[in-house]
Amino acid sequence: MSTEYLESVRKQFEYYKMLGDKTFSQLKEEDLFWQYNEDSNSISIIVKHLWGNMLSRWTDFLTSDGEKKWRKRDEEFESDIKNKEELIEKWDEGWKCLFNVINTLSDSDLSKIIYIRNQGHTVVEAINRQLAHYAYHVGQIVYCGKMIQGDKWQSLSIPKGKSKDYNKEKFSKEKSNEHFTDEFLNNNKREN
C-alpha cells in the first residue's frame, strides 16, 4: 500500500505542475503579472510563493525543519520576478526540488516524523499537507488564467457543456484500474 501511495502522490504532483504549465502556455508575459486588485496576488507572486515554499519544505526533507531559517516568506509576496523566463525557472526549480525527494522516498520513510515550524508530522502527513497547499495555489493560477483569457481559454479538464460526451466515452470502455491522472499526463506527454 505504501508504494502505491508514493506513486499516487507523485502523479498528483505531476498533474498539478502540468496544470500550471498549460496555464502559462496560454498566457502572454504581461498576463503573468496581472492582479485583480492591489490586495490580490498575480500569477507571478503565487509562483514565487510556491517556489519559496517548495525549496524550504523539500530541502533536507527528512533531516531539517521544513521552515528553513533562510526562507523569507514575506518577500515571496513582493512582485519582483522580471519576466516569463524567470517565472518558469523558479516554477521548475521548486518542482525539481520536490520530485528529487518524492522519487527517493521509500515505504520505510512514510512513518518517520519530520517537523514544520517545530510541529511534528509523519512523512505522509507532511506530503498530504503540501499536496493540498499546492493544489490550492495551482487552482488560483488556473483561475487567474481563465479570467485573463476569457473566451480564448482552452479547458484543462472537461470543457464546459461536454460532461455528457466525456462520460459517454468513458463508460464505453471496459473497467480498468488506473490513476485518475494517467489520461491527462499521458496526453500531455504526447503533446510535448
Can you read off the three cell numbers belonging to residue 139? 487552482
Q: State the pLDDT confidence band at 164, using cuts at 50, 70 and 90.
A: very high
Is position 192 within any domain? no
pLDDT (0 to 100) of residue 189: 66
Give the model's confidence band at 102: pLDDT under 50 very low, under 70 low, under 90 confident, else very high.
very high
Average of pLDDT values for 133-156? 97
Give per-residue pLDDT as tens, 176-185.
888 888 777 7
Whether residue 94 is predicted with pLDDT greater than 70 in this model: the reply is yes
Q: Which is more confident, 173 or 24?
A: 24
Q: How would you class 192 by CB atoms within 10 Å of its CB: exposed for 0-12, middle for 13-18, buried for 19 or more?
A: exposed
- All 3 cell numbers of residue 54? 517548495
The range of the structural domain enclosing residue 149 comes to: 2-187
Q: Is residue 94 part of a domain?
A: yes
- The pLDDT value recorded for residue 69 is 97
Report if residue 141 sits inside a domain: yes
Cα Rg of the chain, angstroms: 18
Which CATH number fits the domain that encloses residue 135?
Answer: 1.20.120
Residue 155 DSSP class:
P
Provide the whole-model pTM. Answer: 0.92
Is residue 14 in some structural domain?
Answer: yes
- The tally of domains found in the chain comes to 1
What is the rounded distance in angstroms from the CA atom of residue 43 to the CA atom of residue 47?
6
Residue 69 lies in a domain: yes
- The three state secondary structure string of 85-137 is HHHHHHHHHHHHHHHHHHCCCCHHHCCCEEEECCEEEEHHHHHHHHHHHHHHH
Share of the chain above pLDDT 90, in %: 81
CA-to-CA distance for 9 and 115, rounded, in angstroms?
Answer: 20
- Among 12, 2, 34, CA closest to 98: 12
C-beta of residue 47 within 8 angstroms of C-beta of residue 87: yes
Portion of the chain with pLDDT greater than 70, in percent: 95
Single out the residue of 145, 160, 178, 179 nearest to residue 13, CA to CA. 179
Residue 160, helix vs strand vs coil = coil
Q: What is the mean pLDDT of residues 114-142?
A: 98
Alpha carbon 175 to chain centroid distance? 29
